[in-house]
Amino acid sequence: MITRFAPSPTGPLHLGHAYSAILAHDMAKAAGGVFLLRIEDIDQSRARPEWEAQIYDDLHWLGLSWATPVMRQSERLPVYQTALHTLWDQGLLYPCNCTRRDIQQAAAAPQEGALQYGPDGVIYPGTCRDKPRPDVMGDMALRLDMRRAAATVAWTEDSTPDKKQVFGPEAFVQTIGDVVLARRNMGTSYHLSVVLDDAAQKISHVIRGADLADSTPIHVLLQKLLNLPTPIYHHHKLIRDDAGKRLAKRDDARAISKYRDEGATPNDIRRMVGLPAV
Ligand code: GLU
């Protein structure tokens, strides 16, 4: 078993991260497997070296150990570009220069019906899909043409009387839409990087929060398109604050470092998130 914890160095790790990291670590160790770390720093406008240093420090303090070298996404842009070229050459990507506002407005047009949301927010209404495609990929945002992409992995469900597809291409189109695979001037996206990196690190079990479960169909689709293995997915419960709201990066009050400063022990943290002490 190979598991991983893949934080973004854009803020302090909080109790939710501690839960995710400990779970992935303990599952690997219990199975005699390997626990890996990956720094998801593709968004260089938000990633900070001091947050990365704090991640190592907090995880060591929690008693976790991982195999080195640690993978850092900012060092893997050529790998992401190669995969984008593969998809581009298959005619599955198109450039998009819509702003968030353009998308909101187009999706809210009367003929579009009620606003539909997917894993990345409002489902893209397709404004740039049928524009003539340039010869080269360029630095614009690139979207996956979901109808074409999902058609390449279509299957037939034969057990139902009307031979209806259970989660076929149409479901990808309706519930996910044309997601961004390369953000403008970034050369990649969360979805593309995570899929390529999980494959490169030979992750057998992806252990992550339930908030990412909606993205998993996108990841499995990309694995099929790029000829990569599909790991086993384990989406765990989210750690919530006293009001029942899930913790976010800005919840500095729940930062692991804050509990440390106040004298908590790693076992206190384990207990707080409902894991057995060691
Ligand atoms: N980097 C993501 C985050 O910090 C996690 C990605 C994943 O586990 O797939 O939320």
Structure tokens at 161: 């009387």
Among 85-89, 145-149, 169-173, the minimum mean pLDDT is found in 169-173
Report whether residue 178 contacts ligand 1, using a CB cutoff of 6 Å. Answer: no
**pLDDT tens by residue, 125-140:** 999 999 999 999 988 9
Question: Buried (b) or exposed (e) across 67-105, using 16+ Cβ within 10 A?
Answer: eeeebbbeebeebbeebbeebbeeebbbbbebeeeebee
**pLDDT given for residue 271 in this prediction:** 95
Taking the C-alpha atoms of residue 172 and residue 194, their distance in angstroms, rounded to an integer, is 19
User: Is the pLDDT assigned to residue 162 strictly greater than 70?
Assistant: no
Alpha carbon of 138 to ligand 1 centroid (Å): 27
- Terminal CA-CA length for the chain: 21
Helix/strand/coil for 159: coil
| Angle (deg, nearest 10), helices 190-200 and 77-89 | 110
Does the beta carbon of 8 lie inside 6 Å of ligand 1? yes
The per-residue pLDDT for range 32-49, each reduced to its tens digit, is: 999 999 999 999 999 999
Q: In the predicted model, what is the mean pLDDT of residues 188-217?
A: 97
> How many whole angstroms separate alpha carbon 272 and alpha carbon 236?
16
65-79, 128-142, 219-233, 250-264: which range is least confident on average?
250-264
Could you tell me where the DSSP H helices lie in the chain?
Answer: 15-30, 49-61, 77-89, 100-107, 146-151, 169-175, 190-200, 216-225, 256-261, 266-272
Q: Which two tokens stand for residue 73?
A: 């996404």
**Phi, then psi, of 62 in degrees rounded to 5:** -70, -10
Which domains, ranges and CATH numbers included, belong to the chain?
1-75+240-278 (3.40.50.620), 76-197+212-228 (3.40.50.620)
For residue 245, the model assigns a pLDDT of: 78
The pTM for the full model equals: 0.93
Pocket test for ligand 1, best of 190, 193, 251 (most atoms within 8 A of CB): 190
Decide if pLDDT at 152 tops 70. yes
Query: Which residue's CA is minimally distant from atom 10 of ligand 1?
Result: 7
Sequence letter at residue 96 = C
Find the mean pLDDT for residues 93-98: 97
Nearest ligand 1 atom, CA 208? 8
pLDDT at 157 over 70: no
Best residue for ligand 1 mutational test, from 54, 206, 212 (most atoms within 8 Å of Cβ): 212
Q: Establish whether residue 212 lines the binding site of ligand 1, counting it when its CB lies within 6 angstroms of any ligand atom.
A: yes
Ligand 1 centroid to residue 63 C-alpha, Å = 21
Q: Work out the mean pLDDT of the chain and round it to a whole number.
A: 93
126 alpha carbon – ligand 1 mean position (Å): 27
Q: Give the residue-averaged pLDDT of 258-269.
A: 96
What is the three-class DSSP state of 190? helix
* Residue 145 · residue 180 · CB < 8 Å: no
Of the candidates 22, 11, 16, which has an alpha carbon nearest to the alpha carbon of residue 59? 22
